[in-house]
Amino acid sequence: MNMPIDLRSDTVTKPTAAMREFIANCEVDDDVIDVDPTVGALQDLIAEMTGKEAAVFMPSGTMTNQIGLRVHCRPGDEFICESGCHIYSYEQGAFASLSGLIPSLVTGDNGVLEPEQLLGTIKADNEHFAITRLLCLENTHNRGGGRVQPYENVVQICKWAHDNGLKTHLDGARLFNAVAATGIPAKQWASHFDTVSICFSKGLGAPVGSALCGTKEQMYFARRHRKAFGGGMRQAGVIAAGALFGLQNNVERMSIDHENAQKLATMIQNTEGLKLPGPVDTNIVMMDVDEGIGSAAALAGELDSQGVRCLALGAQRIRFVTHLDVSAEQVDIACQIITDTVSQVLAGSRELSGTGAQY
Ligand SMILES: *Cc1c(COP(=O)(O)O)cnc(C)c1O
């Protein structure tokens, strides 16, 4: 069989020969004693690209988000976020276990928040209540299907937050996808937030790492918390080099992933039994599977056996993500395999067996 076409996530990309060579040749030093030169170069570049004074490199986006929360909040504080966001849904509730914070949830339309939804969410200054300290936004929104938060909404929401004494944190794991989709520079998106988290291991194709960006003072504390969270890494240039290479080479090409995602979206719209739950703005495509076909997990299992890998995210929902390791031709092949499989199941000539994993 051919290599599987892996559409499970944009984190599945593998470093190319050119990236590996860049990694092999990077200069390193002890980044806990001082600053590793390659880590330093990466931190300077991402700080510049987001228009912030400083940045701190960390092993994961979970850590940059959690340390972002820690920088802004104290134990017992509350932060406002969208109910499907990564910080709330996919980080084990670490805001509670590690920092003693509570979330205040607002549910968006496929993750997209409207400014009016935030009105009245800040607790009164009263000793009965937790102190509302921070507002978090996710752009693009992962669980929302890669949706871009409309720029005007972001401007208004962050202005409201700052006018009311809140800090703002952007989970910009896929901020560069929002940049590619809108043409609005990262710096402009980031200007509305006090801190910004960026992942290098998603669409940028690096094997490891994320950065938290903000003021020098915030990043001084972020670096302290990073050590306490277990994220002080010594010759970390070895991994920062992959991130630096991704940032220098893989930002511009991201619109290709979005074009490929549109092929999947069109296929879903044109296939009986499949439905798009929302618009496809970037590189993530959600697909709802008719119960008449079977469960999402069963269909994902069947597609896997035919060389198309995807994730079942709900009882009837499958997620596909395009990235730099899948070509337009491979996406065409995947579309064909998906429509053929679904139509054979509906015609009764193929049976879905077993249940795959659900995420
Ligand atoms: C991937 C992701 C993160 C960070 O995930 P890690 O696996 O910890 O690097 C954070 N936010 C969003 C929206 C993500 O998609």
Helix/strand/coil (H/E/C) assignment for every residue in the chain: CCCCEECCCCCCCCCCHHHHHHHHCCCCCCCCCCCCHHHHHHHHHHHHHHCCCEEEEECCHHHHHHHHHHHHCCCCCEEEEECCCHHHHCCCCHHHHHHCCEEEEECCECCECCHHHHCCCCCCCCCCCCCEEEEEEECCECCCCCECCCHHHHHHHHHHHHHCCCEEEEEECCHHHHHHHHCCCHHHHHCCCCEEEEECCCCCCCCCCEEEEECHHHHHHHHHHHHHCCCCCCCCHHHHHHHHHHHHHCCCCHHHHHHHHHHHHHHHHCCCCEECCCCCCCCEEEEEECCCCCCHHHHHHHHHHCCEECEECCCCEEEEECCCCCCHHHHHHHHHHHHHHHHHHHHCCCCCCCCCCEC
How large a percentage of the chain has pLDDT more than 90?
97
C-alpha 113 to ligand 1 mean position (Å) = 19
Whether ligand 1 lies within 6 angstroms of the CB of 50 is answered as no
Q: pLDDT value at position 355?
A: 67
C-alpha 199 to ligand 1 mean position (Å) = 7
C-alpha 61 to ligand 1 mean position (Å) = 5
Whether ligand 1 lies within 6 angstroms of the CB of 238 is answered as no
Which atom in ligand 1 lies closest to the alpha carbon of residue 210?
9
Whether ligand 1 lies within 6 angstroms of the CB of 300 is answered as no
Mean pLDDT of the region 260-276: 98
Q: pLDDT value at position 3?
A: 84
Whether ligand 1 lies within 6 angstroms of the CB of 60 is answered as yes
- 95-99, 247-251, 347-351: segment of lowest average pLDDT: 347-351
Architecture per CATH, 5-9+253-351: Alpha-Beta Complex (3.90)
Q: pLDDT value at position 353?
A: 78
Domain chopping of the chain, boundaries: 5-9+253-351, 31-249
* pLDDT band, residue 358 (cuts 50/70/90): confident
Mean per-residue pLDDT over the chain, rounded: 97
Mean pLDDT of the region 83-102: 98
Q: pLDDT value at position 357?
A: 75
Query: Residues 281-295: pLDDT tens digits?
Result: 999 999 999 999 999
Whether ligand 1 lies within 6 angstroms of the CB of 82 is answered as no
C-alpha 174 to ligand 1 mean position (Å) = 9
Query: Residues 196-219: pLDDT tens digits?
Result: 999 999 999 999 999 999 999 999
* Topology of the domain covering 31-249: Aspartate Aminotransferase; domain 2 (3.40.640)
C-alpha 213 to ligand 1 mean position (Å) = 15
* pLDDT band, residue 337 (cuts 50/70/90): very high
C-alpha 202 to ligand 1 mean position (Å) = 8
Query: Residues 109-133: pLDDT tens digits?
Result: 999 999 999 999 999 999 999 999 9
How large a percentage of the chain has pLDDT more than 70?
99
Residue 302 has pLDDT above 80, yes or no: yes
Please choose from 199, 212, 311 the residue to mutate so as to test ligand 1's pocket, defined by most ligand atoms within 8 A of CB: 199
Residue 68 has pLDDT above 70, yes or no: yes
Same fold, 5-9+253-351 and 31-249: no
